[in-house]
Amino acid sequence: MRAVTRDARAIWLTDKISRAGFSDIDSFSQRFELKPFRLTQLYRAATKELAASVDAVTTLPKELRASLAEAGFGFDAVEPVAVQHSNDRQTTKGLFRLRDGSEVEAVLMEHHGDRTTVCISSQAGCAFACAFCSTGQAGYTRNLTATEIFDQARYFARDVAVRGKRITNIVFMGMGEPFHNYDAVMDAVALLNDGQGFGLGSRHITISTVGLVDKIDRFADEGVQVNLAISLHAPNDTLRSQIMPVNRKFPVSELMAACARYVAKTNRKVFFEYVMLRDVNDSDTCAHELARLMAGHLYHVNLIPYNSTPDAPFAGTPDPRIWEFAAILDKAGVPTTVRQNMGRDIAAACGQLRAETQPKAHASR
Ligand code: SAH
């Protein structure tokens, strides 16, 4: 296995330093006469201690803090521009602006009990155009850097810390296709996972993909314990190509073969997401077909109630029908769960808040 080790401290410093206009850590260190321990201090203050800003790190000399700030070196690559809470206060949605004006979303879900999950974005927009997805309808703007991804988690980690809580799970289910921005996403995973920094166990991180077969194979070789979720949404090529154009490049049989290779190599379970679209993919026939795809493998199906969006002509399957569909899978021996719906009143599905505030990317070109 070709395990990749990524140096989280170097990833963080390189990204923050380049934002401040420096090409590498050495030239930055020379400019501010920084010893390596100072760089470590900055990294830990931002990622582990979750300090508000460079200026809040009082263990650094005051003049140094001032000159770093002046040079444009800061802890946050994303700026919250709108924060909404669901009526039950369990879901908080943040819209974040990046330096070039692009906007991405992240959602905090505080489940009953001890689970606190953040759903983060890996790209501004998305190139894959899934027919039911608000982000997909808006088109692709650009990749996020590793710290633009990580800082969404940092924002909510600071937010919950005030209430004595910590983030227990991160899912890459916000805007964008994580495997279309592979290296920055894996760098962000290293930042989230670093025991000297943010310190979130890799088993608590999930990457969700539209099913890029070549990247699934690459991911299987990473030697990380991060969970893999596949957005399947349809059990055959005819239907899947209709709602997910990516299927024309990577059809169901190739996708399933890649998942089988992944399990064989890693011995880790694969999660399949299946968004329930009324009269589209919720028939008994679809359930039986899906059950056949899942049979005999280390697979788990997560049925997702659809959050309707104004720009996509789909309706969600009614709850009783979702449970009937689940029962067919269950009877066939497929481990199945139905996703708890959160934040519907604040349009917390992928791309929805941004859709309200920004024009479609292709419309603005
Ligand atoms: N590009 C990745 C991750 C982002 S989308 C992927 O496709 O997996 C995260 C999940 O939300 C995907 O399963 C996606 O299909 C689903 N999704 C998109 N729009 C949705 C909506 N309106 N309601 C429910 N789920 C949605």
Packing angle, helices 8-19 and 146-161, rounded to 10: 100
Amino acid at 66: A
Ligand 1 atom index nearest CA of 208: 8
Task: Give the list of residues 6+ apart from residue 237 with CB closer than 8 angstroms, or none.
Answer: 247, 251, 252, 253
Tell me the CA end-to-end span of the chain in Å, nearest whole number. 44
Give the span between the Cα atoms of 240 and 227, in whole angstroms.
23
Fold of the domain built from segment(s) 79-346? TIM Barrel (3.20.20)
Give the Å distance between the CA of 242 and the centre of ligand 1. 16
Q: Is the CB of 209 under 6 A from ligand 1?
A: yes
- Ligand 1 site, residue 206, Cβ cutoff 6 A: no
Q: How do the domains of the chain map onto residue ranges? A: 8-70, 79-346
pLDDT at 4: 56
Q: Residue 88: what pLDDT? A: 85
Q: Whose CA is nearest to atom 24 of ligand 1?
A: 306
Q: Where does residue 123 fall: left (phi above 0), alpha (psi -120 to 50 degrees), or beta otherwise?
A: beta
Q: Which of 99-103, 179-183, 324-328, 357-361 has the lowest mean pLDDT?
A: 357-361
User: Residue 127 has which token pair?
Assistant: 């190139």
pLDDT at 360: 41
Cα(8) to centroid(ligand 1), Å: 28
pLDDT of residue 361 exceeding 50, the answer is no
Q: Whose CA is nearest to atom 12 of ligand 1?
A: 231
CB of 309 shorter than 6 A to ligand 1: yes
Structure tokens belonging to residue 47: 């990622």
Confidence of residue 348 (pLDDT cuts 50, 70, 90): low
CA angle 165, 169, 174 (to 5 degrees): 115
Predicted pLDDT at 354:
53
The number of the ligand 1 atom at minimal distance from the alpha carbon of 177 is 1
Q: Is 210 in the pocket of ligand 1 (CB under 6 A)?
A: yes
What's the 32 CA to ligand 1 centre distance in angstroms? Answer: 44
Q: Which of 33, 49, 42 is nearest to 13 (CA)?
A: 42
Does 154 have pLDDT greater than 60? Answer: yes
The ligand 1 atom at the shortest distance from the C-alpha of residue 172 is: 3
Catalytic sites, residue numbers: 105, 350
Task: Dump pLDDT digits (tens) for 302-322.
Answer: 999 999 888 778 999 999 999
Q: How many other C-beta atoms lie within 10 A of the C-beta of residue 53?
A: 13
Residue 196 pLDDT more than 60? yes
Tell me how far the alpha carbon of residue 275 lies from the centroid of ligand 1, in angstroms: 8
Q: What is the mean pLDDT of the chain?
A: 92
- Residue 317 Cβ inside 6 Å of ligand 1? The answer reads no
Measured from the Cα of 133, ligand 1's closest atom is 19
Distance 31 CA to ligand 1 centre (A): 44
Q: 202: exposed, middle or buried (C-beta count within 10 Å: 0-12, 13-18, 19+)?
A: middle
207 touches ligand 1 (CB under 6 Å): no
Measured CA to CA in angstroms, residue 271 lies from 62, 82, 155, 232, 259 at distances of 49, 32, 27, 10, 10
Separation of alpha carbons 277 and 113, rounded Å: 30
Residue 152 pLDDT more than 80? yes
Do 328 and 287 meet the contact criterion of CB atoms below 8 Å apart?
yes
How many whole angstroms from 233 Cα to the centroid of ligand 1?
Answer: 9
Ligand 1 pocket, 273 CB below 6 A? yes
Return the structure tokens found at 355: 């859709």
E-strand ranges in 232-310 read: 270-276, 299-305
Q: Is 231 in the pocket of ligand 1 (CB under 6 A)?
A: yes
